[in-house]
């Protein structure tokens, strides 16, 4: 059986119903409420296809992603390069 997680484009389509802008609005509200410093960098753990990448970039944040799956990281790196977004990705588990 094919793992959806090894097919980043299909994964993106399967979860394309999300409203990323509204989700990032929530994250920004949480940052403003709880952070005592100005936040300009975000680290997404288990970043997968990095659905928040473009929205964070539009809002002026630097994006860092961590994931164990090389197919996902390659997919994100290609998309970031195409969109001319500087990112840093790390291949690792969270432990």
pLDDT digits (tens, 9 = 90+) for 35-89: 999 999 999 999 999 999 999 999 999 999 999 999 999 999 999 999 999 999 9
Q: What's domain 4-91's architecture?
A: 3-Layer(aba) Sandwich (3.40)
- The answer to whether residue 1 scores a pLDDT higher than 70 is no
pTM of the prediction? 0.85
- Reference 62, options 46, 82, 38; nearest CA is 38
End-to-end CA distance of the chain: 27
- Report residue 16's pLDDT band, with 50, 70 and 90 as the boundaries: confident
CA distance linking residue 59 with residue 78, whole number of Å: 21
- Please tell me the predicted confidence (pLDDT) of residue 15: 77
């Amino acid at each position: 059986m094919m793992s959806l997680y090894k097919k980043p484009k299909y994964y993106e389509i399967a979860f394309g119903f999300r409203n990323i802008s509204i989700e990032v609005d929530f994250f920004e509200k949480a940052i403003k409420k709880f952070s005592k410093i100005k936040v300009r960098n975000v680290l997404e753990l288990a970043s997968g296809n990095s659905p928040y990448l473009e929205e964070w970039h539009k809002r002026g944040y630097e994006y860092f992603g961590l994931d164990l799956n090389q197919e996902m990281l390659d997919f994100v790196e290609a998309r970031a390069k195409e969109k001319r977004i500087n990112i840093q990705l790390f291949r690792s588990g969270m432990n």
